[in-house]
Amino acid sequence: MKIGSLCTGYGGLDMAVESFFNAETVWTCEFDKYASQVIEKRINKPNHGDLKTTDWTQVEPIDILTAGYPCQPFSTAGLRKGADDERHLWPYIKNIIGILRPKFVVLENVRGHFGLGFREVLSDLASCGYDATWRLVRASDVGAPHRRERLFILAYAQDSGDGCLPVGIQSSNAQFGSNTFANANGSGLQGSIRQRHGFTENSQIAANTNSDARTQSRRTSGSLRTEDYRLRTRQDQRKTRSKSRFSREMDKKAVPAPLDQGKLNAKFVEYMMGLPKGWVTDIGLSRTQQLKILGNGVVPQQAEYALKLLWEQACG
């Protein structure tokens, strides 16, 4: 299977998708010139640059599209301008999905996206002919020593027949093997949609994140269904978990010093993000450039675990 990567960054989301689907990234799309240097050095695939200006009718066809699109319009750390933020790229990504028609779409963003812009994403996916499952997963759910809660979405095309994830891979052939984080618990809100005739305005797709644990389900004229949508309790989140793959990998690595000459050490951040040693820090970028790229990145082990959970939701 072939992967096309939008908003690639250092490629953390693509590492997870490659591992989970046994797929290969064939092209990337990254506008930032420093992140593009990481792509050139570590991924060595064509970089289409600015997704706003690329002629998407001319790119190599792919089976899976990934996009960890900019979080600044939705992040609680920013001004939360949403669609009014000049960095709001979702409308462009929606158009790209419509042109490329991949079998699967894997998206990632911050938790704050739930309360701002998420409804539009699900509506747009439905209008493009995709069903989707979504879930919040923390980096700590796979053993990382930090929370970094993120929203992951797995969308799959509905025009290839009925059934559980009907295109590309059959669920019975999904061999998680060493990729499994069997004893880790997912975190936060989760849900799925099944659409046939488009998205309806009165459908329930968002829940109050302060509500207690409950399952909400609504059916609206057969056009959209949200199911298995719940907020896990803190008690659930505190259940004992066996050591995950992240923890085992981290145990094998020498831990870089957190500080370097009194400043945050980019090599330590790279370690915390679960990346191979030197993935970002050994290609000649400045410390500031490295930290920016790492701060915008995805923990591959976290994303792979999210895919496992989303697959199980979709097939449930």
Report how many domains make up the chain.
Answer: 1
261 in any annotated domain:
no
Give me the pLDDT at residue 31, please: 94
88 in any annotated domain:
yes
- List the pLDDT tens digit at each of the 316 positions of the chain: 999 999 999 999 999 999 999 999 999 999 999 999 999 999 999 999 999 999 999 999 999 999 998 656 555 555 454 555 555 688 899 999 999 999 999 999 988 877 777 888 888 899 999 999 999 999 999 988 899 999 999 999 986 543 334 333 333 233 222 222 222 233 335 565 443 223 222 222 222 222 322 222 222 222 223 333 233 323 333 333 334 556 666 666 688 999 999 999 999 999 999 999 999 999 999 999 999 999 999 999 999 999 999 999 888 6
Give me the pLDDT at residue 243, please: 41
156 in any annotated domain:
yes
**To which residue do tokens 């400043």 refer?**
263
307 in any annotated domain:
yes
Give me the pLDDT at residue 116, please: 79
Name which of 235, 230, 225 is nearest 214 in CA terms. 230
Residue 229 · residue 216 · CB < 8 Å: yes
284 in any annotated domain:
no
Largest CA distance in the chain: 62
Cα distance between residue 41 and residue 282, in whole Å:
10
Residues 6+ apart with CB under 8 A from 8: 14, 28, 29, 30, 35, 39, 43, 47
Give me the pLDDT at residue 249, please: 66
Residue 158 · residue 129 · CB < 8 Å: yes
270 in any annotated domain:
no
Give me the pLDDT at residue 34, please: 97
72 in any annotated domain:
yes
Cα distance between residue 117 and residue 121, in whole Å:
7
Range of the domain at 209: 2-242+299-315
Burial of 246 (0-12, 13-18, 19+ CB in 10 A): buried
What's 212's domain CATH number?
A: 3.40.50.150
Residue numbers annotated as active site: 71
Tokens found for residue 99: 């042109």
Cα distance between residue 35 and residue 50, in whole Å:
13
